[in-house]
Amino acid sequence: MDILDRYIFKSFLKTFLGTLLLLFGLAIIVKIIDSLKMFTDNKHGTWLLVKYYIVVSPSFVTFIVPPALMFAIAFSVAQFNRHFELTVIMTAGRSFKRILRPMFIFSIFLSVAFFLFNEYVAYPASYKAVDISYVLRNRGADARLKKSDKNGDLTLRFANRYYTIGTGIWYENRLTGFHLVEMSSQGTIARIVSADMASVPSESSHLWTLKNVEITLFNEQGAYVGLETFDTQQIELPETLKSFRNFYIETDPDERSIFEAYQLYSNRKELGGSYREFLTEVFWHGGYPLICIFIVFLGGMIGGKLKKASAATSIAASMLFTLFYFFLMYFGTAFGESGTLPPWIAGNLANFVAAGTAGWIHYRMDF
């Protein structure tokens, strides 16, 4: 890195860090104003409230780094353009692509740091912040266990047993809409058990108590034998409540790291059930930090075309790009979850568009 590279990089870095700090402060203020009304009945003291805002603050970085980086590059390059430094540098023989090199190298390191920060700091912190918010709202530390599954029926398999569960009410150790299809060693249906509700005395118990039960029996050849009905019936199963709860998703996407998303994908794929949404999430986590690299060319092009170095124009361009990127990101995720697009495409749809645009700009960049 020569003297000119250091001068360009220093000017850019000051703008980037200043913008990052400004957006971070604004995000905290907005969060405080938006959330204080939820904690009006807080009985746990001021310190826990302060702790909540400290813990939740890393999650802001996930969303403010792209617009801060976009603004810093566009505004810095536009400043050089306004003061005719860009013209002098290019007249001396340095191409516009070469002028962007210090920021491009920085973006590579930033994308790696961005990935590590998101997966090891931001998403775990977001998960912890949600738990603290439950306490602040006097819902108790076990509030997560009192949630019902939001994904509809759970369909899963254990060995030769196939289950469909309507709802898991974990804090009461019971399941609703219980349905079991058990296969024989010959691959034929051995029995079908249906019940309005199934409960166990503890999470580790194998003895299930079923309510309003229908048990359909079959012989070794899979032929229908008969139907038995009971108001209450106890059956012993290899699966415990914990086995079913492993399929319950107690975290939202913004609380899961790539490692947790991959674990959910692996569990669902191995034991049964839908797993597209988690695989799409894995690809999204892996691809999202690459936005830092694409921004260099997009921001550089915008800055090179601005003649008056308008901060307002740079901000507007940064916000528009960020909103469009997140729109494509959520648009792709929705299509990945529905199966319309393969997960690897759905999770990186925004990156494919950004990469294509950045590649075209790099090819055409001659000013």
* Residue-level pLDDT at 149: 44
CB 214 within 8 A of CB 181: no
Closest CA to 332 of 262, 277, 286: 277
Secondary structure of residue 362 in the 3-state scheme: helix
**What are the CA-CA distances from residue 44 to residues 127, 131, 142 (Å)?**
19, 14, 16
Give CA–CA dist 206/173, Å, rounded.
Answer: 12
Give CA–CA dist 132/137, Å, rounded.
Answer: 9
Q: Is the pLDDT of residue 93 over 70?
A: yes
CB 68 within 8 A of CB 12: no
Higher local confidence (pLDDT), 240 or 247? 240
* Residue-level pLDDT at 150: 47
Per-residue confidence at 210, pLDDT binned at 50, 70, 90? very high
Cα atoms found within 13 Å of the Cα of residue 76, Cβ hemisphere only: 26
Per-residue confidence at 40, pLDDT binned at 50, 70, 90? confident
| The CA-based dihedral angle spanning residues 78, 79, 82, 84, taken in that order and rounded to the nearest 10 degrees | -110
The rounded radius of gyration (Å) of the Cα atoms in the chain is 27
Give CA–CA dist 284/260, Å, rounded.
Answer: 13
**What are the CA-CA distances from residue 107 to residues 65, 211, 288 (Å)?**
11, 60, 13
Residue holding tokens 């400004």? 22
Percent of the chain exceeding pLDDT 70 equals 91
Q: Is the pLDDT of residue 310 over 60?
A: no
* Residue-level pLDDT at 271: 67
β-pair type (189-199, 207-218): antiparallel
Higher local confidence (pLDDT), 271 or 236? 236
Domain ranges of the chain: 3-139+279-364, 154-245
Phi then psi dihedrals of residue 71, to 5 deg = -65, -45
Give CA–CA dist 350/43, Å, rounded.
Answer: 44
CB 270 within 8 A of CB 330: no
Closest CA to 51 of 129, 112, 123: 129
Higher local confidence (pLDDT), 94 or 54? 54
Q: Is the pLDDT of residue 106 over 80?
A: yes
pLDDT tens-digit readout, 136-180: 877 765 566 555 444 456 778 888 899 998 888 877 889 999 999
Per-residue confidence at 365, pLDDT binned at 50, 70, 90? low
pLDDT mean over 38-66: 87
Give CA–CA dist 67/77, Å, rounded.
Answer: 15
* Residue-level pLDDT at 151: 45
- Cα 29 to chain centroid distance, Å, stands at 23
Q: State both tokens at 161.
A: 């047993």
Instruction: Centre a 10 Å sphere on the Cβ of residue 151 and count the other Cβ atoms it contains.
Output: 12
Q: Is the pLDDT of residue 82 over 90?
A: no
* Residue-level pLDDT at 308: 55
